[in-house]
């Protein structure tokens, strides 16, 4: 497959997965074929992560495919450029900051920063979703797109102050 068409393959997989989910198919192992799972892995995604996007799109109306694609694009770039296509071991969800944790008065941000770092590195535990309902609420409240947040976390590296400044600015990428 051409590198120019990977996003079209992702759209096809998403469309089929949504149709299967609507038909009652549940579970990442049932929603995706072996070939689809291999493709997802080749762009830095697990079947479970993409299943979560499809499930939430049906159950809650978000994320839409464009949001899933933009998130997938950032992860794919990080996976291929920084990680050279090598996976890292998932980290347990229990090691995340709590949902109530705050930094500079911003609740959820410490957890979200760590989730974004894990998403970038492919270290998401199977029971964890970047872009879950809590994340989406945070992004709406702060007028930030989840893919932009991933890019900022990538650019900031270990500098949490830059990420905090970005959130406080309402997602103004020019401040970086």
Close Cβ partners of 160 (under 8 Å, ≥ 6 residues apart): 103, 113
Tell me the three state secondary structure of residue 10: helix
Antiparallel, parallel or unpaired: β 102-103 and 106-107: antiparallel
Identify the pLDDT of residue 2: 57
The pLDDT tens digits for 21-68 are: 999 999 999 999 999 999 999 999 999 999 999 999 999 999 999 999
Q: What is the pLDDT of residue 169?
A: 92
Tokens 């705050």 -> residue:
102
Distance of CA 121 to the CA centre of its chain: 11
Domain spans of the chain? Answer: 1-87, 88-176
Reported as a single tens digit per residue, the pLDDT across 97-156 is 999 999 999 999 999 999 999 999 999 999 999 999 999 999 999 999 999 999 999 999
- The model's pLDDT over 66-78, given as tens digits with 9 standing for 90+, comes to 999 999 999 999 9
Distance separating the N- and C-terminal Cα atoms of the chain: 35
pTM of the model: 0.94
Phi, psi of 108 (to 5 degrees): 85, -20
């Amino acid at each position: 497959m051409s590198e120019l068409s990977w996003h079209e393959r992702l759209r096809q997989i998403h469309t089929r997965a949504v149709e299967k989910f609507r038909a009652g198919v549940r579970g990442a192992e049932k929603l995706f074929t072996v070939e689809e799972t291999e493709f997802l892995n080749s762009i830095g995604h697990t079947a479970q992560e993409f299943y979560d996007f499809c499930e939430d799109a049906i159950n809650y109306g978000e994320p839409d495919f464009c949001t899933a694609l933009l998130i997938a694009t950032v992860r794919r770039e990080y996976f291929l450029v920084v990680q050279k296509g090598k996976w890292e071991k998932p980290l347990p969800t229990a090691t995340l900051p709590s949902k109530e944790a705050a930094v500079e008065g911003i609740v959820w941000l410490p957890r979200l920063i760590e989730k974004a770092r894990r998403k970038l590195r492919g270290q998401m535990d199977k029971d964890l979703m970047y872009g879950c309902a809590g994340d989406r609420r945070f992004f709406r409240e702060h007028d930030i797109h989840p893919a932009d947040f991933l890019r900022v976390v990538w650019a900031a590296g270990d500098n949490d102050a830059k990420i905090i400044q970005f959130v406080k600015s309402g997602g103004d990428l020019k401040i970086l």
